[in-house]
Structure formats: C-alpha cells, structure tokens
Amino acid sequence: MRRVTSAPRTSLAERIAERIGVRIAADRIAGVDVARGVALIGMFVAHLLPGDEETLADGRSSVLFATLAGVSLGLMTGGARPTGAGERGRAAASIALRGLILIVLGLLLWTLDSGIAIILDYYGVFFLVLLPVLFAPRAVLLPLALAVATVGAAVLATAPDDPRILTGGNVWLYFPAEWFVAGYYPGLLWLAYPLVGLAVARADLRKRRTQLIAVGIGAVASLLGYGGALLLGADAEAHSDTVWEAFGAGGLAVAMLGLLLLATSVRAVGYALFPLAAAGAMPLSLYTGQILAIAALEAAAGPGGVADEHASSLLVALIVGGVVLATAWRLLLGKGPLERLMAVATHRPTR
C-alpha cells in the first residue's frame, strides 16, 4: 500500500516572508514606495508635532511627496520606455481623469476643519498642467524644471499672498490664483518638483548607475541650495518658496530617492523596509485618513484647540497604526482602498 506523504508545513513567519516576496516582486519599485512612505510619515510629523520650531519634516516632506508625484506620472506612462504613440492618448486621458478626481477630493477635504493645508487639489492641477510634456525627454524636462524654479521663485517674491488681490474679486479666477501664486504650494514654483520627478522616472530606476547619479546630483543641488542660502544670508526655510529652498529641498528629495533605491536593491533591506513600502503604496488612503483623523480631533477639542499631548498621541497612532494597517492590507488585499477606487475610475489595473 502506497503511503501518501503530505507537504511539509510552513511556519507563519515563512508564509509571511513568502507573501512579502510576492508583493516585492510585483510590478512596483520598492525604493519609490519606501520614499513615499517616508514622505507620508514626514507629513504626519509636520502636521501634528507640537511646537513652532521648524523640523526636518517641515516643507521637505511635501517637496519629496511632490517630486514622487512626478515619478509616479513617469512610471504610469512607461518609465524608461515611454508608452508607445498609439497608447499615449489613452494614458494621458487616464492621468487627466486622475487629476480631476484629486482636485475634487482635495477641495472636499478643504471643507473639513483640520487646519491642514491640503495638497491633493494642487496635485490634481499639476497633473493637468503637465499633460503637454508628459512624454517629453529629459533634455526638455530638466531645463524646464530649472526655468520654473528660478522664474517662479522670482515672481513669487513680489506676488501678494491674498488671491483676491490678484483676481479683483472675480470668483472664477480665485482658485487658479490660489493654486499657482498665492496658495501654500504655488504652482509657479512647485511644478518644478514633479517635473524633476518625471525626468528621473524616464531613466531606468532599477539600474545602479541611475541610482548613484540621483544621489550625486541631488546632493550637489541640495548643497547648492542650502549652502548658498547660508553663505549669502538668503532664506531657504520651509515654504519660503525661494530658489534656494527649491534647490535645497528638491535636491534632498532626489538624493533620498536615489539612496532608498540603492538600499532596497539589497533583498534583505527590501524585506526589512516592506512596512514603509506598504504605506507608500497606499498614499491617497493614508493621507486622506490622516486629514479625517485630524479634523475629528479638532472637532472634539472645541474652541480651546488641540492639547499638545493629544496631538502627540494622534501622531504616534497615525504612524504606528498607518504602517501596521498598510502592511496587513498590502499583504492580504494588495492595492489600498482609495487607490483601488482611483484605478477603477481611471481604467487602470487594480492589483
């Protein structure tokens, strides 16, 4: 009588490791997701950390987020091998629809009393503005980013902070004035960051050479921005929207992306950083959830405002809870909830 031998049992740890391996092997670049996870946590810190002192997260996390938005645009349109001419119209239409949805979602989040400068509607506008150069080569994108950063900073230095001054009371011009000149992330300058990200994505991000170049160029640009501001007594503080901040924070974003791409090319590091990558793979869900949580805390606090200890507690809960939830969701369900809805709405794969 033949004896049937059962397959050896695997431990829970082995099954989790296998699942992580499947997710890492999926058609995503781990270093980009980890960088996005770092940007998300940085924004949580910038929004909730008590005190008025500027931290490393202030401004720089949103610049990293904006740069990675450009990287995402590049990856969605083929990365180092841009989408063929026959499919470009469909890809551009999908991104345009994504931009419109982000504008609507961002404006809805602005109606909540969170006290946070929402960035999603700006992103949506940036996506629409970048459509004409979506498939442009790096030789066009990088000089354009440089021109936007320098000219935009010069214009913003003398522009009023109140969009009503620019519009003369015309309600139809209020939001364009806010998005491009008077807002918290003015497109006249901030468009430089996704342009740089788009240019970076047109290189092969999995190549060691690309990663090393990103680290080197990013570090030089950041040193030029922050070092130049220090030597000349110029302003490079968070959200100062000067050319010095643009080079300093933008260069730091590119250097960090290169470093994380290098680090996650080592399999053990990729496994260790999987929770951050999982968070970075569902940025829309976690960002929106953060705004809802902060708005709820503000409503519960009442006229006296949120106490420092409550803000600190929410910060810890958002970081730990967000990373744990994202890790479990990524392992079990794949794409995040809002990311899945966005993919369905814009006719993209929902894995």
**pLDDT tops 90 at residue 208:** yes
pLDDT band of residue 164 (cuts 50, 70, 90) is confident
Q: Is residue 341 part of a domain?
A: yes
Decide if 48 is inside a domain.
no
Q: What is the pLDDT of residue 306?
A: 80
Find the range with the poorest average confidence among 209-218, 283-292, 306-315, 318-327. Answer: 306-315
Q: Which residues contact 61 (CB under 8 A, 6 or more apart)?
A: 38, 39, 40, 41, 42, 43, 45, 46
Whether residue 349 is predicted with pLDDT greater than 70 in this model: the reply is no
184 within a domain of the structure (yes/no): yes
Placement of tokens 């807002």 in the chain? 183
What number is the average pLDDT over the span 201-213? Answer: 95
Determine, yes or no, domain membership for 300: yes
Q: What is the mean pLDDT of residues 92-114?
A: 96
Q: How many domains does the chain have?
A: 1
pLDDT at 1: 41
How far is CA 39 from each of CA 68, 69, 121, 279, rounded to the nearest angstrom?
A: 9, 11, 18, 10
Would you put residue 78 in left (φ > 0), alpha (ψ -120 to 50) or beta?
left
C-alpha span between 322 and 287 (Å, rounded): 10
* Structure tokens belonging to residue 41: 């946590």
Q: Answer whether residue 290 shows pLDDT above 50.
A: yes
State the average pLDDT over residues 271-290: 96
pLDDT of residue 98: 97
Per residue in 30-44, pLDDT tens?
Answer: 999 999 999 999 999
Residue numbers of the domain that contains 324: 30-42+57-345
Could you give the CA distance from residue 289 to residue 114 in angstroms, rounded to a whole number? Answer: 12
Does 85 reside within a domain?
yes
Question: Would residue 2 count as lying in a domain?
Answer: no
Q: Is residue 36 part of a domain?
A: yes
Q: Lowest-pLDDT range, 162-166, 200-204, 243-247, 341-345?
A: 162-166
Coil, helix or strand at residue 210 = helix
Q: Please give the pLDDT value at position 229.
A: 97
CB 83 within 8 A of CB 135: yes
Q: For residue 9, what pLDDT band results from cuts at 50, 70 and 90? A: low
Write the pLDDT tens digit of every residue in 259-273. Answer: 999 999 999 999 999
Q: Identify the pLDDT of residue 325.
A: 96
